[in-house]
């Protein structure tokens, strides 16, 4: 039986494209990859490749010979014939198109019937009348344009009389990388003993590498072990008859300045990952461009995104983006300023590290995934309303979970993506990790999960006291953290331990017997303490573990504890609930979904109507506060949400999103209400960029979960709690997707049987 393929809508990009080596070709390729990573199951992207002569064997959907004035109308007519094409996105640079100011493009625009948008890679200040008229004419065909700096937007408004409403300002995209210090990254290239300066890109006069070399001759007087990496080929348009005059000129300058031990030319157009590795190994990036009107630089953006401190010449892009906490701005071509700034940074390791981290954090908003989201938000205002565009779910990644795990357990905090060993370990985090990796094992059967399951389980057992309850904190030296364990209320962490142990026992049919036996012993030992729990959320966490244990090993004592604990929750509910506040407390804080979920499990075990009634009432109340007419709202940790008051904003954490997804999944499993399924998708989209900053809340390379969403920024630290909460939510959605696929296949199979019979 053949699986029916979804017919996807198309976006066509008019642009140069690899293997053509130019910045716009690379930019378009990366833009498309970003869109496909985020929306690829519901949209496809095609290329109308811009070439300067007829192409014998075209490799793209469309090809436009920019020197042939008649070809513009021909290509537009071809695109018009494809009903699946919903939008044409023109990557615009004046030199790309034939004619005066590239006005051959009007031949295309006069014929095309699809919605059109532009990206302006150059925005020229103080235009003459002819240029101003032409730019306004271009935009009259689309009423939509992307620019990459605020200054470009201001120039369009001020100098071209363009309405702000049609301009989308989005930063030049950057690749998400796993943060490393230069010392770590240098190991790949065996240059640990060198302080590294670097620049990259297609070389030409505009790069002004001469300034970097002349500054280097002064730098080596103070720092003789400096290595200057000049990465990239010469621009192909500058090589005539095999003669590369510009590179020859640079190599001659290296000899004249006696810098042969301090300069290394990498005369290659590197693959992206190798280039990013070189940038991560860079102590200082020298941006020496000499074009005062250069609106944007991809090389500059990439360097910042790889945590490079910068010494940069003043062009519009660098002046707008490079704040003093990320690098030093210098005058174009000023050798002394470049040298002085580089020497200052090379002499201060702490300053360089802090600047690098600041640059890294600043540029995460411009990841290609985030840029794709901004593009799609604009596209949806231009294309037909019935075009369905959904988020894709990213690949399930456990590499950051594993990076955060030692032989003892999972480290509590992370400095960006580097585990902070001094933060030690908690029962909370290892319990959550045990639940999540157990879910991953159930979904995939990956034997590599088993050592991690055992590490987390052993940590929980290590924390258990003779009385059955647990300590929560262990320091980096495997010692009990006395002060923190002396806190008055550790019920939440203890109850999570019970949840994790119950989750292991629930997998007894697929886990090794020895692992299940360990978990069972520890679980049963905890039961006398479990009876005494008072805190509402602790009751919820414990009930979840008790329910999971009871689902595979029915036990009257466990059933009695579930009933006893949830009777306390009923009492809480009856005390605090009113007509307009159907809740167990006078406030909503974190992980709120665990309370109605606890009521649900109590009902499923005891079949008592009161548990069901309160489960549904309290869930409906919580959903009304989180899924509003203005979209999904995470309960803010900035003062929480108190009865008879307005909810706080921002301070959104992954734990709350993950818990509401877990709760909705449990209720959907019990009652099959399709509304719960839609709410789950809506909540998970928060991780994927459907939030007030339109930014992804995870690292797509490592699977690390970002620690929080604030008013103006994402907290890029990827601690244990946020990483495991994201992973748990992602696994639930994957399991949900798998179930949906099985149902669809079953329906198709039945349909085929009916047809054949």
Q: Does domain 399-744 have CATH number 2.60.120.200?
A: no
The reported pTM is: 0.91
User: What is the Cα–Cα distance from 44 to 557, expressed in whole angstroms?
Assistant: 56
Judged on CB neighbours under 10 Å (0-12, 13-18, 19+), 425 is buried
What CATH number labels 9-169? Answer: 3.40.50.2000
In the numeric block, the tokens 């009933």 are attached to 563
Would you say 176 and 397 are in contact if contact means Cβ atoms under 8 Å apart?
Answer: no
User: What is the Cα–Cα distance from 741 to 453, expressed in whole angstroms?
Assistant: 28
> Mind giving me the DSSP string for 728-749?
HHHHHHHHHHHHHHHHHHHHHH
Residue 126, Ramachandran bin (φ over 0: left; ψ between -120 and 50: alpha; else beta):
left
> Where would I find the H helices in 285-334?
298-305, 316-321
User: What is the Cα–Cα distance from 677 to 664, expressed in whole angstroms?
Assistant: 7
SS3 call for 226? strand
At residue 206, the pLDDT reads: 87
SS3 call for 554? coil
Secondary-structure class of domain 182-365 per CATH = alpha beta
> Where would I find the H helices in 627-688?
654-671, 674-688
At residue 482, the pLDDT reads: 57
SS3 call for 194? coil
Would you say 164 and 262 are in contact if contact means Cβ atoms under 8 Å apart?
Answer: no
Instruction: Write out the two tokens for 567.
Output: 């009777």
Q: What are phi and psi of 118, to 5 degrees?
A: -120, 155
Alpha-carbon torsion angle 635, 640, 644, 649, nearest 10: -60
User: What is the Cα–Cα distance from 475 to 421, expressed in whole angstroms?
Assistant: 9
Mean pLDDT in consecutive groups of 10 residues from the start of the chain, 757 residues? 65 95 92 96 95 87 96 98 96 93 96 97 93 96 95 96 97 94 95 96 90 97 96 84 87 96 92 95 97 88 97 95 97 97 97 97 96 96 85 96 97 96 95 98 97 98 95 81 60 96 98 98 98 96 98 97 98 96 95 97 98 98 94 92 90 96 98 96 97 96 96 96 98 80 50 45
Positive or negative CA dihedral for 660, 662, 665, 666? negative
SS3 call for 599? helix
- H or E element: which one contains 753? helix 720-756
In the numeric block, the tokens 């506060």 are attached to 625
Positive or negative CA dihedral for 80, 81, 83, 84? negative
> Mind giving me the DSSP string for 541-597?
HHHHHHHHHHHHS--HHHHHHHHHHHHHHHHHHHHH-BTTB-SSSSEE-SSTTHHHH
Judged on CB neighbours under 10 Å (0-12, 13-18, 19+), 31 is buried
At residue 5, the pLDDT reads: 56
- H or E element: which one contains 328? strand 327-330
The CA–CA distances, whole Å, from 679 to 10, 62, 400 equal: 28, 41, 28
Instruction: Write out the two tokens for 493.
Output: 């962490």
User: What is the Cα–Cα distance from 623 to 116, expressed in whole angstroms?
Assistant: 39
At residue 7, the pLDDT reads: 79
User: What is the Cα–Cα distance from 670 to 649, expressed in whole angstroms?
Assistant: 32
User: What is the Cα–Cα distance from 734 to 703, expressed in whole angstroms?
Assistant: 14
Would you say 266 and 209 are in contact if contact means Cβ atoms under 8 Å apart?
Answer: no
User: What is the Cα–Cα distance from 96 to 78, expressed in whole angstroms?
Assistant: 20
Q: Would you say the CATH fold of 182-365 matches that of 9-169?
A: yes
User: What is the Cα–Cα distance from 195 to 182, expressed in whole angstroms?
Assistant: 9
Per-domain boundaries in the chain: 9-169, 182-365, 399-744
| Other beta carbons within 10 Å of 697 | 24
Residue 235, Ramachandran bin (φ over 0: left; ψ between -120 and 50: alpha; else beta):
beta
At residue 586, the pLDDT reads: 95
At residue 691, the pLDDT reads: 96
């Amino acid at each position: 039986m053949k699986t029916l393929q979804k017919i996807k809508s198309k976006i066509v990009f008019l642009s140069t494209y690899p293997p053509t080596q130019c910045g716009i070709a690379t930019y378009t390729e990366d833009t498309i990859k970003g869109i496909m990573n985020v929306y690829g199951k519901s949209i496809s992207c095609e290329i109308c490749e811009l070439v300067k002569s007829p192409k014998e064997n075209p490799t793209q959907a469309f090809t436009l010979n920019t020197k042939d004035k008649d070809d513009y109308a021909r290509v537009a007519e071809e695109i018009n014939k494809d009903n699946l094409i919903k939008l044409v996105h023109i990557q615009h640079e004046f030199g790309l198109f034939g004619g005066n100011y590239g006005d051959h493009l009007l031949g295309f625009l006069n014929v095309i019937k699809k919605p059109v948008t532009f990206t302006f890679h150059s925005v020229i200040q103080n235009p003459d009348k002819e240029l101003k008229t032409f730019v306004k004419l271009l935009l009259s065909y689309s009423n939509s344009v992307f620019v990459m700096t605020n200054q470009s937007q201001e120039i369009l408004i001020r100098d071209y009389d363009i309405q702000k409403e049609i301009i989308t300002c989005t930063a030049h995209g950057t690749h998400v990388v796993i943060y490393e210090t230069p010392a770590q990254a240098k190991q790949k290239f065996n240059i640990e003993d060198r302080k590294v300066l670097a620049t990259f890109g297609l070389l030409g006069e505009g790069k002004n590498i001469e300034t970097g070399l002349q500054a280097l001759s002064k730098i080596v007087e103070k720092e003789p072990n400096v290595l200057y990496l000049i990465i990239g080929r010469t621009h192909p348009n500058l090589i005539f008859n095999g003669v590369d005059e510009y590179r020859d000129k640079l190599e001659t300058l290296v000899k004249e300045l006696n810098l042969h031990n301090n300069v290394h030319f990498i005369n290659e157009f590197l693959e992206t990952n190798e280039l990013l590795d070189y940038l991560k190994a860079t102590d200082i990036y020298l941006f020496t461009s000499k074009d005062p009107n250069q609106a944007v630089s991809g090389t500059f953006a990439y360097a910042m995104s790889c945590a490079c401190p910068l010494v940069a010449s003043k062009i519009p892009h660098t002046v707008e983006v490079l704040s003093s906490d990320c690098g030093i701005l210098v005058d174009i071509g000023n050798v002394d300023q470049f040298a002085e700034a580089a020497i200052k940074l090379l002499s201060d390791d702490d300053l360089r590290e802090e600047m690098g981290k600041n640059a890294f954090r600043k540029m995460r908003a411009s990841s290609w995934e985030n840029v794709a989201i901004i593009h799609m938000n604009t596209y949806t205002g231009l294309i037909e309303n019935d075009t369905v565009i959904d988020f894709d779910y990213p690949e399930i990644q456990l590499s950051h979970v594993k990076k955060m795990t030692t032989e003892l357990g999972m480290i509590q905090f992370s400095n960006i993506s580097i585990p902070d060993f001094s933060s030690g370990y908690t029962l909370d985090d290892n319990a959550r990790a045990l639940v999540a990796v157990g879910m991953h094992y159930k979904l995939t059967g990956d034997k590599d999960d088993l050592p991690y399951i055992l590490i987390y389980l052993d940590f929980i057992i290590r924390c258990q006291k003779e009385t059955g309850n647990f300590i929560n904190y262990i320091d980096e030296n495997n010692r009990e953290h006395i002060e923190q364990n002396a806190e008055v209320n550790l019920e939440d962490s203890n109850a999570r331990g019970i949840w994790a142990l119950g989750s292991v026992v629930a997998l007894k049919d697929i886990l090794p017997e020895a692992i299940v036996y360990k978990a069972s012993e520890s679980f049963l030992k905890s039961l006398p303490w479990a009876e005494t729990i008072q805190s509402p959320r602790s009751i919820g966490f414990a009930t979840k573990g008790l329910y999971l244990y009871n689902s595979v090993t029915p036990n009257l004592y466990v059933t009695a504890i579930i009933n006893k604990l949830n009777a306390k929750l009923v009492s809480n509910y009856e005390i605090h609930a009113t007509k307009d506040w159907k809740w167990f407390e006078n406030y909503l804080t974190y992980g709120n979904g665990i309370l109605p979920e606890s009521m649900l499990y109590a009902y499923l075990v005891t079949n008592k109507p009161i548990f069901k009634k309160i489960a549904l009432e309290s869930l409906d109340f919580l959903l009304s506060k989180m899924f509003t007419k203005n979209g999904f709202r995470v309960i803010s940790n900035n003062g929480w949400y108190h009865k008879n008051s307005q909810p706080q904003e921002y301070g959104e954490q992954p734990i709350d999103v993950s818990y509401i997804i877990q709760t909705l999944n449990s209720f959907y499993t019990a009652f099959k209400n399709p509304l719960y399924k839609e709410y789950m998708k809506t909540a998970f989209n928060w991780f994927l960029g459907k939030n007030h900053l339109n930014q992804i809340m995870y690292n797509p390379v490592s699977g690390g979960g970002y620690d929080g969403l604030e008013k103006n920024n994402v907290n890029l630290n990827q601690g244990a709690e946020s990483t495991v909460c994201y992973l748990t939510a992602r696994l639930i959605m994957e399991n949900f997707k798998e179930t949906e696929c099985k149902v669809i296949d079953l329906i198709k199979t039945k349909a085929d049987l009916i047809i054949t019979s």
